């Protein structure tokens, strides 16, 4: 198992491989969030990652992103994550090793290659926060937390999908600089 992480445009072989799997994911209209995998959705990526299993096959694709509507030095990990060839819409009982190792590798890469003060994970639904933070904290040694707010994750403040719950780790004072709404 290994995770490769690189800045877009710095490794042609990995760029092409990532693009091949991105296009496959985007073309699968049976996936409920298929539109999230359009080329446009990857414009704010600072890094891509590929998880290779023990047979050298790509199992998980994901990215790290940064947007102007977030405070400086804030990055999103597990951005646009998908499992290659995964067609099932299942309720997960535990996080997979491939997803966990991809996440931990992205966090390590951020700390070594950026000015990251806080990183976060977000999703469009609300029911994942406690589960994913527990899974990553207990199995992979993170210290992810969450609070009572939804944060602006994309620039369109009138779009409800742009206000999302997050789990995060890092300098919590940065959260005070971020547009947010109380969920209570």
- For residue 88, pLDDT beyond 80: no
Q: 9's torsion region: left (phi>0), alpha (psi -120 to 50) or beta? A: left
Name the pTM for this structure. Answer: 0.93
pLDDT band at 130 (very low <50, low <70, confident <90, very high): very high
Q: The tokens 């072989």 sit on which residue? A: 13
- For residue 91, pLDDT beyond 80: no
Q: Does domain 2-182 match CATH 3.40.630.30?
A: yes
pLDDT at position 71, please?
A: 97
Domain regions of the chain by residue span: 2-182
Over range 111-136, report the average pLDDT: 92
Over range 145-155, report the average pLDDT: 95
pLDDT band at 143 (very low <50, low <70, confident <90, very high): very high
User: Does residue 36 or residue 114 have the better pLDDT?
Assistant: 114
Do 104 and 49 contact (CB within 8 A), yes or no? no
């Amino acid at each position: 198992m290994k995770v490769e992480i690189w800045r877009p445009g710095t490794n042609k072989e990995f760029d092409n491989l990532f693009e091949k799997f991105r296009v496959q994911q985007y073309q699968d209209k049976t996936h409920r969030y298929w539109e999230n995998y359009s080329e446009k959705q990857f414009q704010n990526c600072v890094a891509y990652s590929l998880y290779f299993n023990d047979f050298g096959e790509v199992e998980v694709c994901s990215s790290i992103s940064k947007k102007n509507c977030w405070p400086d030095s804030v990055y999103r990990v597990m951005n646009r994550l998908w499992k290659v060839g995964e067609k099932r819409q299942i309720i997960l009982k535990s996080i997979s090793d491939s997803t966990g190792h991809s996440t931990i590798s992205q966090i390590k890469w951020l700390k070594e290659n950026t000015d990251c003060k806080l990183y976060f994970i977000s999703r469009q639904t609300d029911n994942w926060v406690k589960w994913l933070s527990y899974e990553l904290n207990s199995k992979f040694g993170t210290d992810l937390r969450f609070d009572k707010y939804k944060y602006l994750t994309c620039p369109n403040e009138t779009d409800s999908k742009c206000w999302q719950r997050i789990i995060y780790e890092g300098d919590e004072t940065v959260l005070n600089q971020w547009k947010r709404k109380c969920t209570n």
